[in-house]
Amino acid sequence: MSPVVKLLAQRIALSLLLLLLISVVIFAGTMVLPGDVAQSILGQSATPEALANLRAELGVNDPPVQRYFAWLFGAIQGDLGTALTSGQDISEALASRFWNTLFLAFWAAVVAVPLAIFLGLVAVRFKDRWPDKLISGVTLASISIPEFLIGYVLMYLVAVKLRWFPSVAMINDNMNLFEKLNAIALPIAVLTLVVLAHMMRMTRAAILNVMQSAYIETAELKGLNAFQVIYRHAFPNAIAPIVNVVMLNLAYLVVGVVVIEVVFVYPGMGQYLVDHVSKRDVPVVQACGLIFAAVYIGLNMIADIVAILSNPRLRHPK
């Protein structure tokens, strides 16, 4: 077996094992949460007999190990269970909301990734000069401010005062692409500001690390200008760490949109999760947690695979 295939198999196996362990943590964590779903459904005036009957009907009195394996095997087969508060199939309820979350994350990535790489290249080209200091200062400030605060400030300035975009990011299937993009413009702007700084600074650091290599000095001695040296020699050799940080931030865009969806009342998985946390609807919380974990681990696994495949010493061991 070649080293590349062996490493890929190890990464995939470790990712699956990690997802299994996280499923245990998610299930155990939801079990120790305070609150009673039966009390939440029936209200404070419910009798003890009614509460006991509803708990038995919902299956919350079964042994935890039995409930975990029933939930796990169902999730493997695509059955995430039924929402306790509404009786709705969780898989069907999450389908449209999951795609809404991916839609928001996709367009935020379309804006943030090229912009971060471009700003990183510009910062390297003008290292320690005013463009580098300006870009680093602005991105550092944006990553230091809580995302919900950025969201409310943009909502007040852009939506309320200037009336350029709507303050509530509501989309539906009857809207065309332009109408959807107009509705999610502010969430995209907030997500871009949040992830831009990390990607830009890691891109800058990776390229500067490569710029210290001997072959970069050779390229400069050949008479290539700074942009040619960076674009043709430094950037391709820094692609592995850049891909890793891009994938990490793409994972954040999918998993970390909960706050943004709540701020802008966006109909995605984050809003759905928060709504059902307040209702103590444990199966919904478990399903959302498992999906978020699977997406995060999957994107990190892709980053590892790309880093392995981009390493010529692994592709050509001889």
Instruction: Please give the residue that has the higher pLDDT: either 317 or 129.
Output: 129
- Taken in order 173, 175, 178, 183, the sign of the CA dihedral is negative
Measured distance between the N- and C-terminal CA atoms of the chain, rounded to whole angstroms: 14
| pLDDT band with cut points at 50, 70 and 90 for residue 171 | confident
CA atoms within 13 A on the CB side of 267: 12
Q: State how far the alpha carbon of 76 is from the alpha carbons of 2, 273, 296, 300, 301, in Å.
A: 31, 20, 17, 20, 19
- pLDDT tens figures, 91-102: 777 777 888 888
- Over 153-220, what HEC string results? HHHHHHHHHCCCCCCCCCCCCCCCHHHHHHHCHHHHHHHHHHHHHHHHHHHHHHHHHHCCCHHHHHHH
Mean pLDDT is lowest, of 127-131, 133-137, 245-249, 262-266, for 245-249
List all residues 6 or more positions away from 182 whose beta carbon is below 8 Å from its beta carbon: 165, 166
Query: What is Dmax (Cα atoms) for the chain?
Result: 86
Cα–Cα distance, 56 to 49 (Å, whole number): 11
Percent of the chain's residues with pLDDT above 90: 0
Q: CA torsion 186→187→193→195, rounded to 10°?
A: -160
Burial of residue 282, with CB atoms counted within 10 A of its CB: 0-12 exposed, 13-18 middle, 19 or more buried: buried
Opening angle at CA 82, ends 81 and 88, nearest 5: 140
Cα–Cα distance, 3 to 134 (Å, whole number): 44
- pLDDT tens figures, 223-246: 666 666 766 666 666 666 677 777
Structural domains in the chain, sorted by start? 102-278 (1.10.3720.10)
Which of 18-27, 76-85, 120-129, 163-172 reaches the highest mean pLDDT?
A: 18-27
pTM recorded for the entire structure: 0.73
